[in-house]
Structure 1
Amino acid sequence: MTFAEFLHQVGGMGRFQIIHTTLLTIPIVLMASHNLLQNFTAAIPGHHCQIRIDGNNTRYSNATLHLDSQDLLRVSIPMDRNQQPEKCHRFVSTQWQLLDPNATQPNGTQLATEPCREGWTYDRSIFTSTIITEWDLVCNLRRLRQMAQSIYMAGVLVGALVLSGLSDRTGRKAMLIWSFLQLAVMGTCTAFSPNYISYCIFRFLGGMALSGFGLSIACLIVEWIPTQFRTITVAISGFVYTLGQLLLAGLAYGIPDWRWLQLTVSLPFFLFLFYSWYVSLKSSLPGASAALFPCGC
């Protein structure tokens, strides 16, 4: 007799399966959050070189006392083809003549420019802090943003290859508990990363853990569900993942600091760790699950 036939014989879908599936489905909400998290924690705000004003021209030596921010940008930062401040270059010297409305304004590309040697100024009206603004991952370093996400996805791949094999040896429940612990710790460490390299390392290890509990949850749910209910159960899990994507957007809107956002989607896994131990214990007790089937209620 197969286990599926045994489930059908003792009553099929019962209270145990409903509670078991519900508790294992809740972490899927934050699985979506971690997969898409860098869309917000690594958002690229508007930016331009820090403004440097020189007073070589005595005619405009006191001009900075009366100029607004737009005029300061005009004399310090060249404009791109969309008439927006250049993101990666500034004028070598302050172009005071651009303030004169009667003066002929040359093309910004014809004036001497230089890279942003003293850092950038960021628009913090939407995101108060991201990994981009914290470590200046713009211009020549912009590719490091994509690299960080690639490293995370590499962790997901390695986790699927390594942890799936370990779950067959050690058991899915043990791997589920370990993966929750690893993601909770690595996600929290990511929120306190002092530099870009440590951020990538923690994200890689977090990606591995995400694969570990994702595969374990899928197997644990399907193995305890009668065959005729598996399709709807898997569909519900997919809806929960979509709900997690919507939840992340709301969290990112309310938490504009990337460290706090990272911490918000990581700390709940400590809670999942504790109740997954309870779920694992109850489902492994001899006769406990059968006692919760409809015929045994």
Structure 2
Amino acid sequence: MVFADLLEQVGSTGRFQVVHTTLLCLPILMMASQNILQNFVAAVPPHFCSAHTNLTASTRMSAAEKLQITVPIDANGSPEKCRRYESPQWHLLANNGSTDPEVWEDPEQAALRGCDDGWTYDERERSSSIISEWHLVCSLRPLKSMGQTVYMGGVLVGAGVFGALADRFGRRVLLTMSYLLMAVSGTCAAFSPSFSLFCLFRFMCGMALSGVVLNSFSLIVEWIPTRVRTVIGTGTGYCYTMGQLILALVAYFIRDWRWLTFAVSLPFYVAFLYSWWLLESSRWLVLKNKPEQAVENLRLVARYNGRQADGEKIDVEMVKSSMKKEMSGCKSSYTTLDLFRTPTMRKMTVCLCAVWFSTSFAYYGLSMDLQKFGVDIYLIQVIFGAADIPAKVIINITMSYCGRRLSQCGGLVLAGITILSNLLVPYDKQMLRTCLAVLGKGCLAASFNCCYLYSGELYPTILRQSGLGWVSMMARLGAMVAPLVLLLGEYVTWLPGLIYGLVPVLSGVAAFLLPETLNIPLPDTIQDVEDSKHWHNSLEQIVLDLAMCILGLMWGKLT
């Protein structure tokens, strides 16, 4: 008997698994709200320099007239954002608002300077944002990208910290701590008095997000049988997709950035309260030499699934014998270095690092600057979120029929090709550019969906959290770099798109070097990974996998 048999004995797809998975997935609905919150709280409103201080309220002029004599017009016919006249240009009113260059570009009368008296913002779209709150415009404009980079830095640090701690102290306790940290940090970020404190608390939110995602996924996958992993993994991905749509809806009704930040943090207080009901992974408990608690949890699952009699038959000796091999191959403690000590683990980790980095890098490169598409930000957020739905349906089918490896590679390569294709589309064809971007993001969302399931199946139980934490760190490194690459567009407009497109195409090659895990039991120890016979990386095997994929899809259609 193996652990999978014990799980079947207590009910592997019963009421417990349904309730357990549902409770773990509910907070994931708000994960997207935290990741792409920047699109709304840092939306850049139309702005221009404030009027001169000598233009007091007693001056009988309309706001349009004050703007006319204060701010010059740029090449697009709009008020300049970062410069104003050194002194009011009264003659422009005398010339009936003429903006003839011969009149207002006289160097003696039209000398320009920065916005010494601050900025005026058009807040009709959103009542406030961190941009207008702390004037993150003009020379301070890079701080907008820095805010998101700091947040992703927190996600990176959290992936390393919570991943390693979860393998040592357990999934459930770290998950509970992550819920509380997310709720408290989000609340503090919402009412931060300064941009520095806002970044600090967003950094902590990022750490908490890693703890939530990694531990939720492991608790899900370690309590379900092999045959339903693909469906459950895809369903978890849909929770994230729905979260993007929820954020657009919430942001539409809550236009103030502080209350929006607070609103998306509130659900984690609820998750913290019910997380005490969740059960620790019995598989992990056995490998940590806690078989008594593992038996207790298995009996609770059996009772909840209506199989109490079967659960009572399970004892400590049965559990130990079912995982005797795995327990003998375990040492007292593991570190991140164990991901690289042996040849197969090292090769697997390096390839997964490339896959996760590129997926996250390109995904957030497309998702974090929605204003560039020239479409209403709420509409484009809904479109981007909705694009993930068919993409994840397709990746679910391909993972089931073609396997994880081809699905992972295909998603990355197709995403890169669509992003590169966008470079050839003229900027004025916004509809076509938006469609290509939506297609690319859908492919990257599908790749993300595959990443979590694929990596969870590749890493052994004893190092699953550490492995997921490490590759997640690489993903967050990609997410940190993504907004900084956008800054290159200030100098070469097409360079960010080229980088965002090439990276996923190149990493698709790394995905081919990974083994297939479709219908393969979860490995529990490093030795299980090293002894695996599923590392087929020859060109012939790749061609065979492709042929099997086509035949599988044809068979699926016929049946």
- Summarize the alignment of residues 174-253 of structure 1 with structure 2, pairs less than 5 Å apart: 174-253=173-252
Counterpart-to-counterpart distance in 2, 1:103 and 1:74: 10
Give the one of 57, 62, 85 matched to 2:79: 85
Q: Distance in 2 between matches of 1:228 and 1:203?
A: 38
Aligned to 2:122: 123
Question: Residue deviations 1:226-278, cap 9 Å, x none?
Answer: 11111100101111100000000111110011110010011211110010112
Give the letter aligned to residue 174 of structure 2.
M
Q: 1:35-60 CA deviation, whole Å, 9 max, x = no partner?
A: 001111111101111112657xxxxx
Letter aligned with residue 33 of structure 2: S
Per-residue Cα deviation, 1:41-90 (whole angstroms, up to 9, x for no partner):
111101111112657xxxxx99941x332222111100111111111111
- Equivalent residues in 2 for 1:105-120 (5 A)? 105-106=100-101, 110=107, 111-120=110-119
Q: Note the residue ranges of structure 1 that are not aligned, 5 or more in a row.
A: 56-60
Higher relative contact order (CA 8 A, sep 6+): 1
* Residue 101 (1) aligns with residue 96 (2): yes
Q: 1:149 maps to what in 2?
A: 148
* 3-state SS, counterpart of residue 206 of structure 1: helix
Matched, 1:289 2:289: no
CA-to-aligned-CA distance 1:127-167 (integer Å, 9 cap, x gap): 11111111111000010010010010011011111110000
2:80 & 2:24 partners in 1: Cα distance?
A: 49
| SS state at 2:275 partner | helix
Secondary structure of the equivalent of 2:255?
coil
Specify whether residues 206 and 63 from structure 1 end up closer, same or farther in structure 2 by C-alpha distance, changes over 3 A only: closer
**Structure 2: which amino acid aligns with 1:105?**
D
CA distance in structure 2 between the aligned counterparts of 1:43 and 1:254, rounded to whole angstroms: 15
Q: Distance in 2 between matches of 1:289 and 1:274?
A: 20
Structure 1 residue aligned with 2:440: none
Is 1:51 aligned to residue 51 of structure 2? yes
Question: Matches of 1:155 and 1:251 in 2, distance apart?
Answer: 24
Conserved in 1, the CA contact under 8 Å of 2:12 and 2:223?
no
Q: CA RMSD in A?
A: 2.3
Q: What amino acid does structure 2 have at the position aligned with 1:214?
A: V
Structure 1: distance between partners of 2:99 and 2:186: 55
Paired AA for residue 201 in structure 2: F
Which residue identity does 1:291 align to in structure 2?
R
Instruction: Determine if contact 2:182/2:268 at 8 Å carries over to the other structure.
Output: yes
| 1:149-208 superposed Cα distances (whole Å, 9 cap, x missing partner) | 001001101111111000011100000001011111111110111101111111111101
Which runs of structure 2 are paired with 1:256-271 in the superposition (5 Å)?
256-271=255-270
Answering whether residue 68 of structure 2 is matched by residue 74 of structure 1, we say: yes
Deviation at 1:34, TM superposition (A): 0.2
Q: Which stretch shows the higher mean deviation, 30-39 or 283-292?
A: 283-292
Instruction: Name the counterpart of 2:131.
Output: 132
Aligned residue in 1 for 2:556: none
* 1:4 Cα deviation after fit: 2.0
Tell me, in whole angstroms, the C-alpha distance in 2 between the residues paired with 1:53 and 1:232. Answer: 63
Distance 1:126 1:104, change over 3 A: closer
Kept in 1: contact 2:222–2:281 (CA 8 A): no
Whole-angstrom CA distance in 1 between matches of 2:86 and 2:118: 14
- TM-score under structure 2 normalisation? 0.50
Q: Judge conservation of contact 1:54–1:93 (CA < 8 Å) in 2.
A: no
Give the length in aligned residue pairs: 291
CA distance in 1, matches of 2:160, 2:21: 25
1:166 is aligned to 165
CA displacement 1:5-33 (0-9 Å, x = unmatched): 22224433100000000000000011110
The one-letter amino acid of 1:101's match is: N
Q: TM-score, normalised by structure 1?
A: 0.92
Give, as a single letter, the amino acid of the residue that structure 2 aligns with 1:89: R
> Distance in 2 between the 1:35 and 1:53 partners?
40
User: For the Cα contact (< 8 Å) 1:282–1:288, is it kept in 2?
Assistant: no
Cα distance between partner residues in 2 of 1:10 and 1:168: 24
The aligned counterpart of 2:16 is 16
Residues 71 and 83 in structure 2, CA contact (< 8 A), matched pair in contact too:
yes
Distance 1:102 1:182 in 2: 56
- Bigger Cα displacement from structure 2, 278-287 vs 185-194: 278-287
Unaligned runs of 5+ in 2: 283-292, 310-559
AA in 2 matched with 1:92: E
Percent of pairs with identical residues: 48
Of stretches 287-296 and 114-123 in structure 1, the one that deviates more from structure 2 is 287-296
CA distance in 2, matches of 1:184, 1:95: 52
SS of 1:82's partner is coil
Q: Distance in 2 between matches of 1:278 and 1:228?
A: 26
Shift of 1:3: 2.2
- In structure 1, C-alpha distance between the alignment counterparts of 2:161 and 2:58, rounded to whole Å: 64
Q: In the aligned structure 1, how far is the partner of 2:92 from the partner of 2:40?
A: 37
Shift of 1:291: 1.5
Letter paired with 1:76: T
Asked whether the equivalents of residues 98 and 105 of structure 1 are also in contact (C-alpha less than 8 Å), the reply is no
Q: Contact between 1:16 and 1:293, CA under 8 Å: does it hold in 2? A: yes
Deviates more, 1:285-294 or 1:256-265: 285-294
Whole-Å separation in 2 of the counterparts to 1:273 and 1:87 = 45
